[in-house]
């Protein structure tokens, strides 16, 4: 379920950048991606700026996408773009690097419907009656968010439900897709 949701977001993200090109005169560490309109003007739809960062050996992605930083990659900028760009979104390793650079609240999202589905699947397993009851009770807290769910959860199920509903965020997947497109364009030259 989680992977299905992430893959759906990734397909949308990849399609959003499919026709983007490198705009202007890029430097060896700074690119702008834009899509050309039919009249040869440039569209600001998903306008994206990608910058290699020296101090964190990272990549900063911003523009129409809220900022995301991928950190602790290879030393050389070209190798950094390849490091992220050659992996197809969504990718948990790349998400981890974004989490280190931008924080988990930017890199991961929580979906109560996904959490409910995952808890329901857990409840289909053979469980001790008190665990099953605790899982049923946890469903009552989904509407209040992940923090309340975990705060109110019975200690016997806390570990089981700690990651339910959590998935790689659309923001991170779109940033990754932008770097993926940049890598495709660099390879074509």
- pLDDT of res. 46: 95
Q: Residue 155 pLDDT more than 90?
A: no
Residues 119 and 102: their CA atoms lie apart, in Å, by 29
- pLDDT of res. 24: 85
Conformation bin of residue 21: beta by default, left when phi > 0, alpha when psi is -120 to 50: beta
Residues 177 and 153: their CA atoms lie apart, in Å, by 36
Tens-digit pLDDT profile for residues 134-151: 999 999 999 999 999 999
Q: Residue 1 pLDDT more than 90?
A: no
Tens-digit pLDDT profile for residues 166-180: 999 999 999 999 999
Tens-digit pLDDT profile for residues 24-67: 888 889 999 999 999 999 999 999 999 999 999 999 999 999 99
- How large is the average pLDDT for residues 152-156? 88
pTM as predicted: 0.90
- pLDDT of res. 111: 95
On the CB side of 56, CA atoms within 13 Å amount to: 14
- pLDDT of res. 18: 95
CA dihedral 109, 90, 175, 180 (to 10 degrees): 180
CA dihedral 92, 105, 109, 7 (to 10 degrees): -30
């Amino acid at each position: 379920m989680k992977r299905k949701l992430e893959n759906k977001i990734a397909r949308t993200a990849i399609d959003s950048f499919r026709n983007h090109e490198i705009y202007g005169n890029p430097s060896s560490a700074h690119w702008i991606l834009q899509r050309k309109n039919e009249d040869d003007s440039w569209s600001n739809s998903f306008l994206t700026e990608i910058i290699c960062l020296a101090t964190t050996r990272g990549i900063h992605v911003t523009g129409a996408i809220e900022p995301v930083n991928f950190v602790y990659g290879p030393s050389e900028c070209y190798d950094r773009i390849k490091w992220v760009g050659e992996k197809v979104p969504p990718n948990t390793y790349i998400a981890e690097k974004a989490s280190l650079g931008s924080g988990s609240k930017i890199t991961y999202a929580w979906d109560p419907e996904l959490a409910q589905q995952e808890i329901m699947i857990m409840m289909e397993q053979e469980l001790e009656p008190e665990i099953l009851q605790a899982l049923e009770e946890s469903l009552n807290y989904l509407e209040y968010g992940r923090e309340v769910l975990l705060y109110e959860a019975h200690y016997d199920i806390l570990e089981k439900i700690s990651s339910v509903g959590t998935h790689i965020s659309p923001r991170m997947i779109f940033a990754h897709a932008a770097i993926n497109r940049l890598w495709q364009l660099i390879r074509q030259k």
